[in-house]
Structure 1
Amino acid sequence: MTGARPEEPMNKLRVIQWTTGKVGKLSLRGVLDDPRLELVGVYAYSADKAGTDAGALCGRPDTGLLATSDIDALVALDADTVFYNPFMADLDHVVRLLDSGLDVISTNLFLNVGGIQGATREALAAACERGNSSLYITGINPGWINTMVTAMTAVCRDIQRVSISESADVSVYESAETWQALGFSLAEATPEVIEMAKLWLSTFRDSVQRMAVALDYELDDLEFFIEHQTASEDVDLGWLSLRKDTIAALRGGWNGKVHGKAVVQTNVAWYLTEKLNGNWEFDDDHYHVVIEGEPEVHTRIRFVPPESWGNHEWDTMTAMPAVSAALDVAAAPAGILTLKDVGLPCAPAGTWLTQRRSAESRVPAADPIR
C-alpha cells in the first residue's frame, strides 16, 4: 500500500508472493531472506501447490504459511505489496489487487495482454487511482540494468547515445522449444521465425522505452534488427542437437530513434555454441554499456555464480530487483511508476551482516581439547 517508508526495522512491509514458478520461487526466497519484509500470503497458480508450505515451494524450511488459490482470502490479509511473477499476466487479477490498495511489483511485462499501453495501461492506471496504489515493473530481462545505466548518465554533461549489449551462452537454459522458436537448429530464419524472435525480444523493446522515458527522450521510432549464424559442425547439447549449417546463434535488438538517429539501444548476442561459421565473437562479460557523451562512459558487468547454482538459479537476477524495490515502491506516489519514481533500490546488506554476526555469537564455543 503506497505510503511512507517504514522508519524502524519492526515496521515490516507485509507482502504476498504471487506464483512460485522459475522466477517466483526465487522471489519467495528473497522475501524470506529480507528482514524488512514479512511474508503473509502465497498465491498458488497450480491446484497441486495449494495447501503446500511456502518454504517447501522454494526449497526452504517450512514457514507455517500455506499457499492458497483463494484470491478473496489473500486480498483480505491487509498486506502492502504483491510480488507478481507469473509466466502469463492476468489483467483482471492485477486490476483487482491494485483496486484493493495493494502495490504490485511485477517481473511480467503484460505482453500477452498488449503490454503497458493502450487499453491495458488505461485499466491499470485507473485501478491505481481507485486503490491509491502503485504498479512497478522491473521486467524479465534486462530489467535491472536499465536502472543502473540511466543513473550512470548523471556524470555526463552531454549525451549522444546510450547502448546496452548483452552477451550470453544460452546453452545453460535447457529448453529446446524456446530456442527452436527463435530459429535455433533450423536451416534458415524464415519470416515466421523472425516475427517470433521479434516477439521474444520485445522485452528489450520495453527496456529501450523505459530508459527513454527516464532520459526525457520522446522516441519517433523503435527499430528491430536481427541476424543469425550457423554451426560449423554438428553439436549435441544433450537436450538439443544442432546439425552443421543450422542456426546456432543470433544477434538482435532495438534502436530507439529521435529524428532518425538512434539515441537508446539494447542488443543481445545469444549462442548455443561458439563453433560457428563466420567470425562472430562473443563477450565474456554479460553486459557492455556504452554512453556516448561528455565524458564517454564504458562499463562492463560480469556475474559470477556460486558453484552451488543450477542453471535456473540465474533467474535470481530477475527476481531480486523486484524484491529489493519493495520499500522504494511503498514510498513512491500512486500510479504506474517509472525508473525515476523508484530510484535506485538496493539490498539490505548491513542488516544481513548484523544478522550473521548475531547468529555466529549464539553458536556455543567448542570444548577445549584436554
Structure 2
Amino acid sequence: MERLRVIQWTTGKVGKLSLRAVLDDPRLDLVGVYAWSPDKAGVDAGTLCGRPPCGVTATDDVDALVALGADTVVYTPFMADLDHVLRLLESGTDVVSTNLFFDVGGIEGETRERLEAACARGSSSLYITGVSPGWINTMVVAMTGVCRDVRKISILEAADCSVYESAETWLAMGISLTGTTPKVVETARLWMKPAYEAVQRMALALEYTLDDVEFSLDYATAAQTVDLGYMRIEKGTNAAVRVGWEGRIDGRTVIEMKFAWYLTKHLNESWEFTDDQYHVVIDGEPGVDTRMRFIPPDSWGNHEWDTMTALPAVNAVFNVKAARPGILHLADVGLPCAPAGRWLAAQR
C-alpha cells in the first residue's frame, strides 16, 4: 500500500492524540507539524506527544509547510483559520478536520463556496469528522442497510462532561450562566451548527430532502455549587444541557440528533442519565435499538477521551485520498476503519 505523507496541524488536546496516531500508523509518514504556540516551534514532534523523538520538528512557518506538498493535513485546532485551510486545499493537500468550523459560521454560504473553489483549484478534498458529529453519523447511516423501510432515525447522546476541561466551550453552551436568554440561545445554536450540518449530511446519504431543521435547548440547574478546577458552577446556575436538532419532512421528524451533557448530577431537575454514550433508534422495518458505551482502560486520564475525536480523522485519510475532490459527505468516504492488522504486525 502507498504510504501517505501527513502534516499534523496543531498539537492541543486532540492534536496531540492524532499526532501519536500518525506516528504509530505504519501506513503514514509524518513530514510536518504546525505549531500554534510559539514555545512549541522547534520542538520534536515525538516530544510534543509523548513519543520518542522522530526527527520532525514543529514550525509556525505556514509557507514551509505548504511547500512540503504533503498528501494530507490532519487539522485539529480549537478555532479554524480559514485562510490556512484555503491555502492547503489550493496547494493540492487534502484536509481531514476535527475542527467543525463553527467559528466561521459552519460549512455554508460564502465559506462553503470558498472551500469548494479551493478544492477545485487544488483537486483536493475536505472532510470533517470526529466522534460526534462524525463517526456516529457514519455508523448510524450504515445501520439502515438492514432495513426495507425507515421512518425515523434518532441519535441520543449522553455524557458526563465534567472531564472535558474547556471552560470556553461550556460558557458558550450556557453552562454556569443563569436562565435561557436570547443571547444564550443564539450562542448555543452557533456552537451546535456542526450537528445541524451532520443531520443534513445524514439526510443527503439517505436521500431525504428536509423541509426544515428545528433547534431545541433546555437546561437543568445545579443543586449545589460545583468547583471543577477549570471552572466553577454556582448553585442555581445552568449545570446540564439538553440540546439538538430535528430534521423534518411534511411536519414529521425523520432524523433527530440530540445531546444530554452534564457537568454534575447534583441537579434541581429530575433529569436521568445512562452510562451509555449513545442510544440509537431506527424506527423502520425492522426496527433497530442499539446502545453504545465506550470503555476506557484504567490508564486513561481526562484528555485521553479525545482519542475518539482524533482517531476517526487519522483513520479516514486513505478514504479521503481515494475520494473525489471537494467537500466530502458520508457516502463519499464510506466506512473508515482501524488498520488493526498493521498494528498487530508492527507489534510482532
TM range (shorter): over 0.9
The change in CA–CA distance for 1:32 and 1:266 in structure 2 (over 3 A counts) is same
Specify the SS of the correspondent of 1:172: coil
Is residue 307 of structure 1 aligned with residue 307 of structure 2?
A: no
User: Helix, strand or coil: the match of 1:309?
Assistant: coil
Read off the aligned partner of 1:300 and give its amino acid letter. Answer: R
Partner of 1:272: 263
CA distance in 1, matches of 2:261, 2:33: 34
The answer to whether 1:254 aligns with 2:229 is no
| Pair 1:123-2:114 in alignment | yes
Give the equivalent residue in structure 1 for 2:212: 221
Instruction: Work out whether 1:113 is the aligned partner of 2:104.
Output: yes
Provide the C-alpha distance between the structure 2 equivalents of 1:298 and 1:350, rounded to a whole number of angstroms. Answer: 30
Alignment of 1:83-162 (within 5 A): 83-139=74-130, 141-162=132-153
Against the structure 1 CA distance between its residues 140 and 93, is the aligned structure 2 distance closer, same or farther, given a 3 Å change threshold? farther
Q: What one-letter code is carried by the residue in structure 1 that aligns with 2:148?
A: R
| Counterpart AA for 2:250 | H
Which residue matches 2:334?
343
**Retained in 1: the 8 A contact 2:74–2:314?**
yes
Q: CA-to-partner distance for each residue in 1:307-358, whole Å, 9 max, x for gaps?
A: 221111111111110100011111112121111011000001011111212x
Task: Determine if contact 2:26/2:346 at 8 Å carries over to the other structure.
Answer: no
TM superposition shift of 1:142: 2.7
Shift of 1:288: 0.5
CA distance in 2, matches of 1:285, 1:213: 27
Q: How far apart are the structure 1 equivalents of 2:327 and 2:166?
A: 33
2:61 corresponds to which residue?
Answer: 70
> In the TM superposition, what whole-angstrom CA distance separates every residue of 1:102-158 from its partner, at most 9, and x where no partner exists?
111111122222221111111111111111111111147332101100011110000
1:177 Cα shift?
4.2
Provide closer, same or farther for how the CA distance between residues 153 and 113 of structure 1 changes in structure 2, counting only shifts above 3 A.
same
Deviation, 1:196, is 1.9
Q: Deviation digits for residues 267-310 of structure 1, max 9, x if unmatched?
A: 01111222222321112100000111101101111111112211
1:282 matched residue in structure 2: 273
| Contact kept in structure 2, 1:109 and 1:140, CA below 8 Å | no
**Is the alpha carbon distance of 1:220 and 1:303 closer, same or farther for their aligned partners in structure 2, counting shifts above 3 Å?**
same
Match of 2:285, as an amino acid? E
Name the counterpart of 1:297: 288
8 Å CA contact 2:172, 2:191 repeated in 1: no
Ranges of 4+ aligned residues in structure 1 off by more than 6 Å: none
Name 2:324's counterpart in structure 1: 333
Gaps of 5+ in 2: none
Distance between the aligned counterparts of 1:93 and 1:244, measured in 2?
A: 42
Normalised to the residue count of structure 1, the TM-score between the two structures is 0.90
Deviations 1:50-81 (A, max 9, x none): 11100111121111111112222222223211
Provide the C-alpha distance between the structure 1 equivalents of 2:226 and 2:76, rounded to a whole number of angstroms: 34
- Structure 1 SS opposite 2:13: coil
Give the SS at the match of 1:268: strand
- Residue 186 of structure 1 aligns to which amino acid in structure 2? L
For the aligned residue pairs, the C-alpha RMSD in angstroms reads 1.6
**Residue matched to 2:13:** 22
What is the alpha-carbon distance in structure 2 between the residues aligned to residue 246 and residue 94 of structure 1?
Answer: 38
| Cα distance in 1 between the residues matched to 2:32 and 2:239 | 43
> Residues 51-66 of structure 1 correspond to what in structure 2 (within 5 A)?
51-66=42-57
CA distance in 2, matches of 1:101, 1:235: 48
C-alpha displacement at 1:37, in angstroms? 0.5
Q: Match for 2:91: what amino acid?
A: S
- Using the TM superposition, name which of 33-42 and 195-204 deviates more: 195-204
Unaligned runs of 5+ in 1: 1-7, 358-370
Q: TM-score, normalised by structure 2?
A: 0.95
